[in-house]
Structure 1
């Protein structure tokens, strides 16, 4: 009974008050979390002694899954490209790029390839989308240009594709979400804002499901929301989960989608306040569990910002899928990204296969 009363009191304090608690107390008051360990990690980003690494994106090499690649942002400097061995394949000085996503099979400059899009906050008053080509054969990133994305500071970004075209959702720091129709087929990329949505306070992480036409956005002190992702859809949000100190402990940060089958799977949210990750079922938005990444062969994760997950074969180390999480501490080193097998998460949470 004492624990029930304590949790109720904790929830009533609100997210801002909860942030003032020591992390050990937040962990003690949150819902139980299973434990997994990372099977690998990336080299640290180049910016030391700073909150620099932020958000990952994954490209899966269908022909040679173990040769897949991870893009990661150093939000003070640019974009890193890593192999699954964690080694740096490339770095591109792009300045202050915060979040990143990618799509394969996109028309780019007269051909078809992998388009990487980052939220560009080099100008905090005017958001932009920075576009890049990922040459998967040479493991190199090439800048294509920027596209205006609205007034305000660029923060989160995620890509969405349907029969009407390719879109980027850019989440501005004040909770504004602009849906931008992208065209990278010409000599220089272009884009136009086709609609705007709004959450009440600071928001960042997002992920869009091409299969279901749903956009998920994390409002840091409030919780997880979903929108209709279609350009002509409703702009009204539906709340999936609150940042109540139980399943999500503020800040609610990165958002990722683990696709299973044609329309099922899971939405994952970084519960930054207690170093955990909450998991919700796509079919009915139901909460199914939480997990933490503990120290093992490589270190644990703390204060995670961006996350990404992709199911499928990624070679012997990650045969059922790959989960990538930014590590906000990484011991004495600069921040980096931890690589976790999706199969390990499935087993830890007892999810159906």
Structure 2
């Protein structure tokens, strides 16, 4: 999500960055800043395909591309699918040529004046136990109704592969009632996780405009639907003690706290990575039973700013140099790139400078930064990705089109623009091109 953030200082605008990595500091207590250095230009990769543009207006169905997930068809990898959220436009399903194969609307408003359904983030669960047997499903945060929506994936099904199996009695995730739901401090970011020890399936959900994370267990019903129960919650810090002894709180609209959206769980070790948009990337156990550790910070970390009600923007003060050098607020989509042998990367979208950062997956290596890249235009008709909200990556072969895997990224400023209408969409990038450039 693009939010109001402090204007960058002159030093940042000129490309000067500050190194201040904190792989294992206590929550809210960063290490001292290191001297500044110049950041080398990042390599560029190009997409092979893009989805049709979505328009967030009445004529376009109030559809806005946000977050993708990649489902691999094990029986026929070339017929795998990309499932993506379109906010009030619901869910979209695409084939590997980026052609739409299904569109599911978000649920309508509960009543007159109530918030309509709004699908924010999506993730997958493989082999979820249902009353009728095991199945692959999508899990989506419905920000408009403060609920999770679960869809079964059935390839080749007439009418489209997704079927809604959400239990009608599924409760709000955070809100006590409809009035609170309408305030829209609701279910937002999402990551799914299956506990390897118990086999139980979970969704980790963040709350919009708050720092709260909730662990929800998915529960099948005898009717063949799926509901969920809240196991526990955890609040990330909303203010931070800086190395100079001062306190800092990220700037935002009155009453808003620094929220989390991008999240992913590493199944190899059960660690959750959560992107607090104006702060950085946190690492903690997916069961929410450990103290969070800050893996990296955005460059704007620690920059004092004040919200201006007239401009609805944050006016920034002098940069004290406590931020990181790899990410520009907001830190957005997080995804896990797994390579043969279990190695791989944590991928993060650096929305503020249109780049992507890769970190080592190994916690013992302190999730060391390994490199970054940009997704740039392949041609005049096929542009790159700017202001990326969500990303998904799969390193398994996906037929002849993507034999080494696929990266899908949201493009927050799709071009060429259709008249005065802003548009968004998703870019499909061959994964071998990403790894070849980053590992050179």
TM-score bracket, normalised by the shorter chain, equals 0.7 to 0.9
Mapped pair 1:186 → 2:222: yes
1:227 to 284, 290, 304: 284
Q: What is the SS of the residue equivalent to 1:197? A: strand
In the comparison of the two structures, how many residue pairs are matched? 330
Match of 1:98 in 2: 120
Structure 1 gap segments, 5+ residues each = 1-14
Structure 1 position 60, deviation (Å) = 0.7
Q: 1:203 to 1:20 in 2, by over 3 A?
A: farther
Match of 1:157 in 2: 190
Structure 2 gap segments, 5+ residues each = 18-38, 107-116, 176-184, 239-257, 301-324
1:115 to 94, 117, 137: 137
Choose 106-115 or 291-300, whichever is displaced more.
106-115
Structure 1 position 54, deviation (Å) = 0.3
Counterparts of 2:155 and 2:88 in 1: how far apart (Å)? 25
- The structure in which a higher percent of residues are strand is 1
1:140 to 158, 161, 169: 161
Structure 1 position 175, deviation (Å) = 1.7
| 1:10-54 alpha-carbon deviations (Å, 9 max, x no partner) | xxxxx9434588xxx758446332100011112223645778110
Tell whether the 8 Å contact from 2:63 to 2:90 is kept in structure 1 after alignment. Answer: no
Match of 2:182 in 1: none
Structure 1 position 338, deviation (Å) = 0.3
1:130 to 138, 149, 152: 149
Tell whether the 8 Å contact from 1:18 to 1:26 is kept in structure 2 after alignment. Answer: no
TM-score by length of 1: 0.87
Mapped pair 1:169 → 2:204: yes
Match of 1:3 in 2: none
Which runs of structure 2 are paired with 1:238-249 in the superposition (5 Å)? 238-244=293-299, 246-249=325-328
Tell whether the 8 Å contact from 1:178 to 1:195 is kept in structure 2 after alignment. Answer: yes
Counterparts of 1:262 and 1:186 in 2: how far apart (Å)? 39
Counterparts of 1:26 and 1:154 in 2: how far apart (Å)? 34
Match of 1:205 in 2: 262
Structure 1 position 244, deviation (Å) = 1.7
Counterparts of 2:83 and 2:148 in 1: how far apart (Å)? 16
Counterparts of 1:134 and 1:27 in 2: how far apart (Å)? 48
Choose 76-85 or 40-49, whichever is displaced more.
40-49
Instruction: Kindly report the root-mean-square deviation, in angstroms, between the aligned alpha carbons of the 2 structures.
Output: 2.2
Which runs of structure 2 are paired with 1:1-353 in the superposition (5 Å)? 16-18=5-7, 26=13, 28-29=15-16, 31=39, 32-45=41-54, 47-48=56-57, 52-94=64-106, 95-123=117-145, 127-138=146-157, 139-145=160-166, 147-148=170-171, 149-151=173-175, 152-162=185-195, 163-164=197-198, 165-173=200-208, 174-184=210-220, 186-187=222-223, 188-199=225-236, 200=238, 201-229=258-286, 231=287, 234-244=289-299, 246-261=325-340, 263-283=342-362, 284=365, 285-297=367-379, 298-331=382-415, 332-333=417-418, 334-350=423-439
Counterparts of 1:104 and 1:26 in 2: how far apart (Å)? 44
Mark the structure with the bigger radius of gyration: 2
Counterparts of 2:340 and 2:213 in 1: how far apart (Å)? 28
Structure 1 position 128, deviation (Å) = 1.3
Choose 66-75 or 327-336, whichever is displaced more.
327-336
Q: What is the SS of the residue equivalent to 1:317? A: coil
Choose 88-97 or 145-154, whichever is displaced more.
145-154
Choose 34-43 or 269-278, whichever is displaced more.
34-43
Q: What is the SS of the residue equivalent to 1:212? A: coil
